Amino acid sequence: MIKQHYDKIRKKKVMVTGGLGFVGHNLVKSLVEDYECDVIVIDDCINSSEEAIASVRDKVAFHKISVLDTDRLFPLFKDVHYVFHLACIQIAASSSNPLADMQVNAQSTLQILEYFRHNPSPALERFVYTSSCSVYGSSSRLPVREEDPTRVLSNYAATKLLGEQYTLIYNRNYNIPVSVVRYSNVFGYGQSPRNPYCGVLGKFVHNALTGQSLSIFGDGEQTRDYTFITDAVDATILSAVHPMAYGDVFNVGTSVETSVTRLVDLIRMVVPGVEVENIPERDIDNIRRRMIDIEKIHQRLGWVPRVNMQKGIQLTIDWYKSTL
């Protein structure tokens, strides 16, 4: 049954913005390899490189342009069936460059939606905005559900919430077919450790394998809900093809809460003897606990995560070993 939904995207014309990024290039590969899509990749390479899509480079159309460059972006929407809008300024850079953060995460979204409002496209089946569970802030009630109040604590969360709100408004007011996914700490293959904004797990695995210590911000008892990359990619595609995802927002995670100290323990099971150092927290380290409720995406779309932390860490370590 669920396969029949996924099949809708097969051989379709798809655009992925931020398509060289961590989630983006994994999504691009899946769209090409699993669904034979005709994929347009948009990325300005500010936080990535073309190398990320080397294995499918001859099967995609890559445009090194900014999502803010509307003159060059808009003509590419012709006959596109699905748009996955992933281009973003990462949380670690959002406070140092808040204006760019607002422009890429929110303004570009508004510009694209305005384009479709004024140039209605019969081809467009879904515009997917990838938001973040950081919009919940430090919620006192766990696991957090989609309908719980948002409480943004960073520039990044503010601009991601604005991006998703624009997306939903343009669905309600102008019938643009949209869906929104809120990812929770995605990890796994292809998270470049050279990227200063690489997530904690990518950095930990890289440091563990290269004999460096693992830096823990604060006491290590802060928790997150970690999602393996293949699960995040599957949920994102499902949110685009499933009729019940139309006009709605879905958490994507596991409902499992893992502390940074526990992450270190899990890595030590595979790479024994890894050292840690505790360093002061940064301004963005203001969310103590995170665990998200995934009942909505499970009940409505039939999605469940398939890779648990232990398996995900093992797969990530194997991948890093093969690339180091």
Ligand X SMILES: NC(=O)c1ccc[n+]([C@@H]2O[C@H](COP(=O)([O-])OP(=O)(O)OC[C@H]3O[C@@H](n4cnc5c(N)ncnc54)[C@H](O)[C@@H]3O)[C@@H](O)[C@H]2O)c1
Helix (H/G/I), strand (E/B), else coil: 171: helix
Long-range contacts of 31-37 (CB under 8 A, 24+ apart): 31/237, 32/56, 32/59, 32/60, 35/6, 35/9, 35/10, 35/11, 35/237, 36/10, 36/11, 37/9, 37/10, 37/11, 37/12, 37/13
Contact assessment for residue 215 and residue 277, using Cβ atoms and an 8 Å cutoff: yes
Q: Would you count residue 22 as binding ligand X (CB under 6 A)?
A: yes
Between 66 and 207, CB nearer to ligand X: 66
| Residue in 35, 82, 129, 156 annotated catalytic | 156
Residue 221, token pair as written in the block: 């008892």
The Cα 158–Cα 57 span in angstroms is 34
Q: Would you count residue 254 as binding ligand X (CB under 6 A)?
A: no
Of 222, 221, 190, 219, the closest CA to residue 206 belongs to 190
Size of the site for ligand X (CB under 6 A): 31
Tally DSSP H helices, then E strands, for the chain: 12, 13
Stretch that binds ligand X, among 33-41, 42-50, 165-173, 289-297 (CB under 6 A): 42-50
Q: Would you count residue 24 as binding ligand X (CB under 6 A)?
A: yes
Candidate list 9, 12, 15, 18; residue touching ligand X; CB under 6 A: 18
- Establish how many alpha carbons lie within 13 A of residue 67's alpha carbon, considering only the half-sphere containing its beta carbon: 33
Between 68 and 270, CB nearer to ligand X: 68
Q: Would you count residue 46 as binding ligand X (CB under 6 A)?
A: yes
Sign for the CA dihedral angle at 253, 258, 260, 264 comes to negative
Between 200 and 241, CB nearer to ligand X: 200
Q: Would you count residue 45 as binding ligand X (CB under 6 A)?
A: yes
Q: Would you count residue 179 as binding ligand X (CB under 6 A)?
A: no
Stretch that binds ligand X, among 21-29, 31-39, 120-128, 292-300 (CB under 6 A): 21-29
Q: Would you count residue 284 as binding ligand X (CB under 6 A)?
A: no
Contact assessment for residue 32 and residue 59, using Cβ atoms and an 8 Å cutoff: yes
The Cα 104–Cα 156 span in angstroms is 11
Shortest distance in whole angstroms from residue 303 CB to ligand X: 16
Cβ-closest residue to ligand X? 21
Q: Would you count residue 207 as binding ligand X (CB under 6 A)?
A: no
Between 23 and 216, CB nearer to ligand X: 23
**What mask of x and - would describe binding to ligand X in positions 48 to 77, judged by CB under 6 A?**
x-----------------xxx---------
Of 236, 247, 267, the closest CA to residue 83 belongs to 236
Candidate list 15, 44, 223, 287; residue touching ligand X; CB under 6 A: 44
The Cα 25–Cα 71 span in angstroms is 24
Find residue 129's DSSP bridge partners: 85, 180
Residue 316, token pair as written in the block: 């990530």
Candidate list 30, 109, 132, 316; residue touching ligand X; CB under 6 A: 132
Between 230 and 243, CB nearer to ligand X: 230
283-302 burial string, b = 16+ CB within 10 Å, else e? Answer: ebeebebbbbbbebbeeebe
**82 in active site:** no
Burial class of residue 3, CB neighbours in 10 A (0-12, 13-18, 19+) = exposed
Q: Would you count residue 41 as binding ligand X (CB under 6 A)?
A: no
**What mask of x and - would describe binding to ligand X in positions 77 to 116, judged by CB under 6 A?**
---------xxxxx-------------x------------
Stretch that binds ligand X, among 37-45, 237-245, 270-278, 284-292 (CB under 6 A): 37-45
Q: Would you count residue 199 as binding ligand X (CB under 6 A)?
A: yes
- Site of interaction with ligand X (CB under 6 A): 17-18, 20-24, 42-48, 66-68, 86-90, 104, 130, 132, 160, 183, 185-186, 197, 199
Active site residues: 156
